[in-house]
Amino acid sequence: MSAHRKKKPNQRNERHGAAWGGGRFLLLALILVTNQSFAQRIRAIQDGGDASAIQRISPDLAQILRGNSGQALRVIVQYKNAPNSKQIARAQFQGARLNSSLSLVRASAFTMSPAAIRALAKDGDVASISPDHRLKGMDDLTDSAVGVSTAWNSGYDGTAIGVAILDSGINDNHADLQDSTGSVSRVVYHQDFTGTSTTNPAGAAWDLYGHGTHVAGIVGGNGAWSGGRFAGIAPNVTLIDLRVLDKNGAGSDSMVIAAIQRAIALKNTYNIRVINLSLGRGIATSYANDPLCQAVESAWRAGIVVVVAAGNYGRLSVNDSNGYGTVTAPGNDPLVLTVGAMKTLNTADRADDQIASYSSKGPTTYDHVVKPDLVAPGNAIVSLIDHGSTLEAKHPANKRYGTIYPGYRPYFSLSGTSMATPVVSGSVALLLDQNPGMTPDQVKARLMKTAYKTFPTSTTAIDPTSGQTFTSYYDLFTVGAGYLDIAAALNSTDLAPAAAASALSPSATYNPVTGKVSLVNGSSVVWGTSVVWGSSVVWGNSVVWGTNVNGSSVVWGTSVVWGSSVLNGFSVVWGSDIGSNSATSVVWGCSAFDAVDASSVDIDGDE
């Protein structure tokens, strides 16, 4: 754990270590162990033969347990109600080590043996036990591509808007993260949730990996070292650093959930209106059963716009699936704003921009939610370097020069949906600067409705490492509602009614009789065909999704291109039982506990 630093009177630049609170629970466990009735209750749970215990263990965890010889596992135990000290003590009596308390999702994170997991599953207070999945971070023409100059010329720069960066940390020593005086950092709060060191050998504080500093620069760098050339989207935002990835870019579900809890708790203190999650992992279950997805939904309902990377698996072609069905969690949740990556082709003209071949595509595994929601520039994005970080050492050729001192390189280039995500987060801050009363649903609705929707039918790209050519099709599972256009969003006056609107992304369903895939919308969903958006504007599917959708029906292989053939890769996403939620043929299978790597650090971009 990182040590606390003395809080400054104005509460800026606070440093905090994560407080897991395990000590008092361990003491309580020791007291309770001596109680005979308590021990008897434990034996009753162990020997009760509760058939429902099997259902309390998630399918992916069950798969891991079958092949485990006794090695302790990190798990998240969700309870029917917020866990109390007695319930924690029962788990500790089994030998579990408490890692963190996750009250946001009525859960606790433990390290437990397989035997202890099976025993605890018999506890009637337990709702489910799932793996504590490991996660990784997903790695100046951008401003022109999304029209950010319109915001700046109108005086919107994110002032007083707080953006929580849940990543590998932020090195607030970079000049681009200072305020207009150049003497006070706009990173006002730091907290570590990884329990690892926060200072590297070069003395860089809080970001050993380098990913979070780069992401923070895209959101809110002011371009001090480049004369404004490499400024971020919202150059005067307040940044809240919640560190969930270590020096290798690795973290876990419980770390992210704990950080989300903290962001919600700090919402009023720092006016946190946006959470940026440039990270993800494979999907092992429906979003409705995933504690990580439940956590992001809690933040959304607390009034915070959660912006999440779609993932970098668009080149993954399982049985000719052409990268479909590869959106990662928690980007699979229908509430959050999920972002795919575009490339600017080194021009300021948006019309020639193309989808990045590595950008993950929907529909989502298990639930078939239409994702991503938007796309934004994410290829070869120049932002802040963290000197002494893992990424700098791994990719020295990615360093970029500033304009202040010759020979000094304060910037760095990375590619991935991780870089596209903070572009959207910064844009959300600009929109909230203009309209501070907007709800997360209204923000998502406005950005999707005003997105740029003119695309080619298909494009090709070359992986510079392998030389392999990839073909991408511009359907709603690839580009969502379109290309982020912050200028159009700021110029729009349309506003979904706060009381009735829900910006849940729709799901897709397959009709084997007609051979069509249709969008399924609830009656309260803002882009449902019968919902009036504002006083007179009917926001139907053809408005949100553009010409890719014919009414409320998506014609498989025509309006929505699925690879080069109608059925190519179809069963990979939809399961072997077409039209159901069968998970027998899904991309992620049961390997998500070991985490399919969602990192952007090895994404070289497209040629």
Would you say residue 246 lies in a domain? yes
Residue 579 scores a pLDDT above 80 = no
Q: Which of 139, 143, 157, 167 is catalytic?
A: 167
Report the percent of the chain where pLDDT is more than 70: 72
Q: Are residues 151 and 188 in the same domain?
A: yes
Residues 106 and 191 in one domain: no
**DSSP conformational letter for 541:** H
Clarify whether 254 is annotated catalytic: no
Same domain, 300 and 435: yes
What whole-number distance in Å separates Cα of residue 372 and Cα of residue 394?
Answer: 30
Number of neighbours of residue 435 by Cβ within 10 angstroms: 16
246, 113: one domain: no
pTM: 0.84
Question: Is residue 39 assigned to a domain?
Answer: yes
In a domain, 273, yes or no: yes
Helix ranges (H only) for 181-324 are 211-220, 253-265, 267-270, 291-301
203 band by pLDDT with thresholds 50, 70 and 90: low
- In this prediction, residue 524 carries a pLDDT of 43
Number of domains in the chain: 2
Contact 207, 386 (CB under 8 A): yes
Single residue among 98, 113, 132 that ends a domain in this structure: 132
Catalytic residue flag (residue 108): no
- Judge whether 601 lies within some domain: no
More confident residue, 577 or 176: 176
119-123, 235-239, 466-470, 557-561: the lowest-pLDDT one: 557-561
Task: Return the structure tokens found at 361.
Answer: 């595509």
pLDDT for residue 581 is more than 80:
no
User: Same domain, yes or no, for 71 and 188?
Assistant: no
Q: Is the pLDDT of residue 195 over 70?
A: yes
Q: Which two tokens stand for residue 203?
A: 């003395």
With CA atoms as reference, report the closest residue to 107 among 118, 120, 94, 119.
120
Whether the CB-CB separation of 301 and 294 falls below 8 Å is answered with no
Concerning whether 418 is annotated as a catalytic residue, the answer is: yes
Judgement on whether residues 98 and 242 belong to the same structural domain of the protein: no
Residues with Cβ within 8 Å of 110's Cβ and at least 6 positions away in sequence, in order, are: 74, 75, 76, 77, 91, 96, 97, 98, 99
- Give the pLDDT mean for 67-90: 90
Domain that holds residue 268: 136-594
Q: What's the one-letter identity of residue 283?
A: I
CA distance 417 to 87: 40
Pairing of strands 279-280, 134-137: antiparallel
**Residue-level pLDDT at 574:** 67
* Most confident by average pLDDT, 289-298, 547-556, 577-586: 289-298
Q: What is the pLDDT of residues 107-121, one digit of tens each?
A: 999 999 999 999 999
Contact 529, 521 (CB under 8 A): yes
Measured CA to CA in angstroms, residue 529 lies from 283, 403, 521, 524 at distances of 30, 51, 8, 10
The pLDDT assigned to 462 comes to 84
Mean pLDDT computed over every residue of the chain: 77
Residue of higher predicted confidence among 555 and 292: 292
- Residue pointed to by tokens 């027998």: 584
| Beta-carbon count within 10 A of 325 CB | 29
Phi and psi at residue 298, to the nearest 5°: -60, -40
Residues 249 and 108 occupy one common structural domain: no
Residues 198 and 83 in one domain: no
169 and 228 co-located in one domain: yes
**Among 38, 8, 40, 276, which Cα is nearest to 158's?**
276
562-590 average pLDDT score: 48
The domain that holds 72 is classified in CATH as 3.30.70.80
Q: What tokens appear for 319 in the block?
A: 């049985």
Q: Is the peptide bond before 372 cis (omega within 30 degrees of 0)?
A: yes
More confidently predicted of 162 and 60 = 162
pLDDT exceeds cutoff 80 at 85: yes
Examine residue 335 and state whether it is found in any structural domain, yes or no. yes
Q: CB of 314 within 8 A of CB of 358? A: yes
> Taking each helix axis from N to C terminus, what angle separates 440-449 and 417-434, rounded to the nearest 10 degrees?
110
- Residue 33: partners with Cβ closer than 8 Å, 6 or more residues away: 39, 93
- Whether residues 58 and 193 share a domain: the answer is no
Tell me if 256 is assigned to some domain.
yes
Q: Which of 278, 418, 472, 505 is catalytic?
A: 418
Segment 275-288 shows an average pLDDT of 91
Report, as an integer, the average pLDDT of 500-525: 69
544 pLDDT tier (thresholds 50, 70, 90): low
Q: What is the pLDDT of residue 584?
A: 34
pLDDT at 562: 46
| CATH code (residue 564) | 3.40.50.200
Cβ count near 576 (within 10 Å):
12
Residue 197 DSSP label: -
**Quick one: 278 and 368 in the same domain?**
yes
CA distance 112 to 527: 45
Looking at the fold, whether 80 and 173 belong to one and the same domain comes out as no
CA angle, residues 244, 63, 107, in degrees to nearest 5? 45
Residue 11: burial class (beta carbons within 10 Å; 0-12, 13-18, 19+): exposed
> What does the alpha-carbon distance between residue 272 and residue 267 come to, in Å, rounded to a whole number?
5
Task: Give the residue carrying structure tokens 């309209």.
Answer: 435
Helices within 20-160 (DSSP H only): 22-33, 36-47, 53-56, 59-66, 85-93, 114-120, 142-146, 148-153
Query: Is 500 part of a structural domain of the chain?
Result: yes
**Token code pair at residue 551:** 């009414």
Is 415 in contact with 600 (CB distance < 8 Å)? yes
Radius of gyration of the chain (CA): 24
354-411 pLDDT tens trace: 999 999 998 898 888 989 999 999 888 888 888 888 888 888 887 776 666 666 778 8
Whole-number Å distance between alpha carbons of 330 and 293: 5
Point out the domain boundary residue: 101, 132, 163.
132
Is there a domain that residue 229 lies in?
Answer: yes
Q: Residue 235: pLDDT above 70?
A: yes
Nearest to 137 by CA among 605, 604, 607, 602: 602
Kindly report, residue by residue over 396-445, the tens digit of the pLDDT.
Answer: 887 776 666 666 778 888 889 999 999 999 999 999 999 999 999 999 98
The answer to whether 384 and 186 are in contact (CB under 8 A) is no
Point out the domain boundary residue: 114, 132, 150.
132
Better-scored residue on pLDDT, 35 or 282: 282
Which one is catalytic: 16, 174, 211, 214?
211
Paired tokens of 248: 């290798």
In angstroms, the CA 427 to CA 273 distance is 12
pLDDT computed for residue 598 by the predictor? 35
More confident residue, 20 or 61: 61
